[in-house]
Amino acid sequence: MTEAGLRIPECISFRPLSPLTLGPTLVILILSSSKGLLADHIHSQTTCERERTFKVEDPFRTIEWKGDHIRLLDQTRLPTEELYIEIRTVDQICDAIRRLAVRGAPAIGVAAAMGVALGMLDADVHDQELFRSRFKAVCDQIAATRPTAVNLFWAVERMRSVLARSGDGDLRELQRRLEEEAVLMEEEDRLLCRRIGEAGADLLSNGDTVLTHCNAGGCATAGYGTALGVIRAAVEQGKKISVVSDETRPLNQGARITAWELMKLRIPVTLIPDNTAGALMQRGEIQKVVVGADRIARNGDAANKIGTYSVAVLARYHEIPFYVAAPLSTIDLSAPSGAGIPIEERDPAEVTHIGGVRIAPEGVPVRNIAFDVTPHHLIAGIITEVGVAAEPYEEAFKAFFEGKREETET
């Protein structure tokens, strides 16, 4: 039995991770077996111990609540301009999500929550019916922005639960609670990303070159990142890690954002065209692959930026471990498999134009599928804030969510 009362089968071994640094810091035990992994948490650490653990500060702030508006980094302007914009209306936050000024499943979730709080700041606090009607309209508008990132819907539902718990109470107090919940979600996301990094850091060895696709760093979250968080945590352990970043066509998030972010963090990064990954694997120049996810099905199938599946197939052929890093909020237990994940298709102009300049013939048919689904059998492990899940993923996820529920109840 662990100190938390979890019975450990004989076939399961465990190893402690070093302490985390934000919020009520916890040591996480990763329990591994052929039937998946479980996690439990014990023992808080002292402030001095926390301060010694992480030293690298985020060199930018992805999204921030400013009381009467949202301040966010406009990622469409990177890398040539580090521009922060002020969001003051629901229409503006919806536009920012659609045009990818804010992007990445966790960051979209935080933006959605803040958008709901923002949309209710000027709501009528003297009429319950009008307030609730306005709240529903705001939630519905934000939920309609992008279909694939499950964190968006998770965040909107979490804000709806704040309203549901309020009953017919004071509406000004409800406004305050909505604001507090949105800010809490941003703080939680930064903490969870550090936990994801700590959970996955030991999967990387000193001297590894790690391939990543799209951007799953601090820009895709409230801070620190998921896939890049794993890399950052390994670097903060003192390991020498180099990164290869796919450019990630058609919007070049790898070239514009991942390369920019890693250079800010002074982590060695090399940019490659998407079609170069296989050649580098063939030459033995890639040791690991770590990517993020926009939605993960119950069986472990993972939807991520288009091109991820191709990288996973190449990694399997070359016997290179392929990992997905994402918070539990990205796991959609209502989707039995990747076949149930809605896949967004975007404007053909994103393919036919670069920087506003046409590169394809006028009138050519275009398929601009924004995401693909990597089957679970190609994934070596899914790194979450409570541990690293392995096959069978459904059993591992069940244990993770049960542990999370017990933690919340206590």
How far does Cα 241 stand from its chain's mean position? 21
User: In the 8-state DSSP scheme, what is residue 1?
Assistant: -
- DSSP annotation string for 348-394: THHHHEETTEE-S-TT-----B-EEEE-GGG-SEEEETTEEE-SSHH
Given a contact cutoff of 8 angstroms between Cβ atoms, the answer to whether 259 and 247 are in contact is: no
Q: Select which of 40, 208, 274, 294 is catalytic.
A: 294
Backbone dihedral region of 232: left (phi > 0), alpha (psi from -120 to 50 degrees) or beta? alpha
Q: Retrieve residue 351's tokens.
A: 């393919």
Q: What angle do CA 342, 337, 31 make, to 5 degrees?
A: 125
355 CB neighbour count, 10 Å cutoff: 6
Q: Retrieve residue 248's tokens.
A: 């990630």
Given a contact cutoff of 8 angstroms between Cβ atoms, the answer to whether 95 and 150 are in contact is: no
Measured over all CA atoms, what is the biggest interatomic distance in the chain, rounded to whole angstroms?
68
Give the H or E element holding residue 272. Answer: strand 269-272
Report d(CA 193, CA 106) in Å as an integer. Answer: 9
| Closest to 203 in 3D by CA, of 267, 290, 292, 277 | 290
User: Active site includes 127?
Assistant: no
Report d(CA 115, CA 111) in Å as an integer. Answer: 6
- Phi and psi at residue 19, to the nearest 5°: -65, 150
Q: Catalytic amino acids?
A: 294
